[in-house]
């Protein structure tokens, strides 16, 4: 499981870095990343419950700290084909690309927010076990008036 977390972090960082490097004209501007979650059939509600209990408080704390500007979650209203299906999209607006890509000690926040680290770790592992897929997509707005 540790290798899975490392792989996810590596892929996210690589994608975020390449996106930040490909858009040098917007330093200091908010940096937006969409995180997609596709759960195994029948586990969407369990995923949402665990996300709201364990991950959302960390994100809210980062908003309070000013590292993140905004966080929200979307869910498709209707269904799509299985290959295009996702259950939840979490959009995170970072203060800027530098903040999004610099090292951040999330472990200190986890210890501060969750006294029972054993339960937290077990539930976070479960949250990722019930996923069929997860991907991160750094995005940028295209100015159609230019």
Q: How confident is the model at residue 27 (pLDDT cuts 50, 70, 90)?
A: confident
Report how far Cα 125 is from the mean position of its chain's Cα atoms: 15
Contacts with 97 (C-beta within 8 Å, 6 or more apart), sequence order = 16, 19, 20, 23, 26, 27, 29, 31
Distance CA 127, CA 4 (A): 13
Q: What are the tens digits of pLDDT across the range 12-24?
A: 445 544 444 445 4
Residue 83 corresponds to which tokens in the numbers above? 């290959």
Is 61 a residue whose pLDDT tops 70?
yes
Q: Work out the number of other CB atoms within 10 angstroms of the CB of residue 92.
A: 20
Query: What does the pLDDT average to over 114-118?
Result: 98
* Domains of the chain, start order: 2-139 (3.30.70.100)
Q: How far from chain centre, in Å, is Cα 110?
A: 15
CB 70 within 8 A of CB 93: yes
Query: What is the pLDDT of the chain when averaged over all its residues?
Result: 87
Each residue of 117-138: pLDDT tens digit? 999 999 999 999 999 999 999 9
Provide the pLDDT for residue 79. Answer: 87
pTM over 0.85: no
Confidence check: pLDDT of 26 > 90: no
Closest CA to 125 of 27, 32, 42, 50: 50
- Mean pLDDT for 136-142 is 93
Higher pLDDT residue, 144 or 11? 144
* Bridge partners (DSSP) listed for residue 137: 34
Looking at the predicted structure, is the pLDDT value of residue 76 above 90? yes
């Amino acid at each position: 499981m540790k290798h899975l977390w490392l792989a996810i972090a590596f892929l996210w960082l690589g994608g975020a870095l390449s996106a930040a490097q490909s858009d040098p004209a917007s330093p200091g501007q908010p940096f937006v990343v969409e995180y997609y979650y596709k759960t195994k059939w029948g586990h969407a509600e369990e995923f949402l419950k665990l996300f709201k209990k364990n991950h959302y408080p960390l994100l809210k704390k980062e908003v309070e700290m000013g590292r993140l500007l905004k966080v929200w979650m979307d869910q498709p209203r209707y269904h799509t084909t299985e290959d295009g299906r996702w259950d939840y999209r979490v959009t995170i607006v970072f203060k800027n690309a530098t903040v999004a890509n610099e090292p951040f000690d999330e472990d200190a926040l986890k210890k501060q927010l969750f006294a029972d680290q054993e339960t937290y770790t077990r539930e976070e592992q479960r949250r990722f076990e019930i996923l069929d897929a997860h991907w991160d997509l750094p995005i940028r707005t295209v100015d159609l008036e230019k």
